[in-house]
Structure 1
Amino acid sequence: MDRDPRDARDVLRELVAAHGRTYAEEAGIRLADTPQPLYQSLVLAHLLSARIRGSVAVATARALREAGLRDPARMAGASWQERVDALGRGGYRRYDERTATQLGEEAELLTDRWGGDLRRLRAEAGGDVSALRRLLQEFPGVGPTGAGIFLREVQRVWPEAAPYLDRKALQGAGRLGLPEDPGRLLAAAGRTEPAVLAAALVRVSLDKNLVRDVTGRVRERAG
């Protein structure tokens, strides 16, 4: 059963205050509608979509940037072994060999088809979010989950994608006893930025301990 609307607002306020940080922010990506941060967000979404801890994917995104693999030209120009080594330094060892290949192919496709600029992919979609999802899934290793993660993160700079609450975000809402209907959930969240709300809810879907954390914060505030 969903919480009372006023109770839901309290829960969302504490959730966002404690855990409202996008994965791009955690990975040190200064998101903007420019080629490099958009590409880095695609790589992050690719990494997050595997069955691996989010903290490892974030650390690996940082490791790739620290290795100089910040844009598609550098990623495609790196050797397969250089990509494997960078993935390993981030802790992404279970999928490192396959992912190293996919990242190279992904960078080559982005360069060949869209000139290394995801804004051109966006233009090709013409404001259609379904088309965006379809085009994103043309990248090797980016399936429906990866495309959803990318749109969830970049909705703050691609407003046609907002509000974007994917299945994981809605699962997190359910764990907190919040509405799993996007419209009702957004109404309860008020002015909270959808990208921040979605990231916080995803964290709850992945870590049941956060339910106790958030409800405990609400009780403490209620006094």
Structure 2
Amino acid sequence: MATQKRLVSTLLDRCGRTYAAEAGITLADKPSPLYRLLVLSVLLSTRISSGIAVDAARELSRAGYRTPRAMRESTWRQRVDALRRAHYVRYDESTATALGDGAALLLDRYRGDLRRLRGDGLTARLREIPRLGPVGVDIFCREAQQVWPELRPHLDGKTLDGARSVGLPTDSDGLAGLVPSGDLARLSAALVRVSLDRKLADGVVEAA
């Protein structure tokens, strides 16, 4: 039977890439990468494949919409076109509206800087962002814990489901103790991936 240490090592090797990294975001405690993570979290919140959402985040970034100001100054049509280029088509029009409204909210309340949301009440403030429901908030916090230590450990239901699927501890403290704190975002991403893919989970267990 695989040890927990080997399981975690295999998880990180095989599927420990964060969604931010997949979208080409070098996460840092700076306004632009944090905003790009927020946009990615909004895109991942809809019932659409994670691959399409990641591609859409990349396309919006290529179009230059890397800050709330740039997003707000883009037209609704430009945002729709960028989403459609990434085949984000089921929710393209409503998402384009939500991204514009969200950018305006961030500029009006937080001067376009997500670091101003940090602290007590973060979850409630994130929920004010259009289209960012509980799922999107968890996505943002899972990934932002890489650069916001006060969020650690953020191991939500999806990550614990993934832990259960490969035989790892299903309590946050026990799971967090298996990796250095700086690897929690990667571990969370890996566990979410195996929670969504039984074949991937089985492959990790067999390889470990």
TM-score normalised by length of structure 2: 0.95
Relative to 1, partners in 2 of residues 1:160 and 1:191: Cα closer, same or farther, differing over 3 Å? Answer: closer
**Cα deviation digits, residues 153-204 of structure 1 (max 9, x gap):** 1111111111111111111111112221111112234566111110110111
Structure 1 residues 158-167 or 98-107, which shifts more? 158-167
Residue from 8, 13, 17 that aligns with 2:9: 13
**Unpaired runs of 5+ in structure 2?**
none
Q: Spell out the pairing of 1:43-62 with structure 2 (5 A cutoff).
A: 43-62=39-58
C-alpha contact 1:33 1:157 (8 A) present in aligned 2? yes
Percent same amino acid at aligned positions?
51
Relative to 1, partners in 2 of residues 1:190 and 1:68: Cα closer, same or farther, differing over 3 Å? Answer: closer
Matched residue, 2:186: 196
C-alpha contact 1:13 1:189 (8 A) present in aligned 2? no
Matched residue, 1:168: 158
Secondary structure at the aligned position of 2:128 is classed as coil
C-alpha contact 2:31 2:115 (8 A) present in aligned 1? yes
Q: Compute the RMSD of aligned alpha carbons.
A: 1.4
Q: What letter matches 2:173 in structure 1?
A: G
Matched residue, 1:158: 148
Tell me the distance in 2 between the aligned counterparts of 1:80 and 1:97: 8
1:84 aligns with 2:84: no
Tell me the distance in 2 between the aligned counterparts of 1:204 and 1:192: 20
Tell me the distance in 2 between the aligned counterparts of 1:191 and 1:10: 18
1:212 aligns with 2:173: no
Q: Spell out the pairing of 1:106-121 with structure 2 (5 A cutoff).
A: 106-121=102-117
Higher-Rg member (1/2)? 1
Q: CA deviation at 1:18?
A: 1.2
Relative to 1, partners in 2 of residues 1:63 and 1:31: Cα closer, same or farther, differing over 3 Å? Answer: same
Moved over 6 A (4+): none
**Unpaired runs of 5+ in structure 1?**
219-223
1:24 aligns with 2:27: no
Relative to 1, partners in 2 of residues 1:11 and 1:117: Cα closer, same or farther, differing over 3 Å? Answer: same
Matched residue, 1:221: none
C-alpha contact 1:114 1:120 (8 A) present in aligned 2? yes
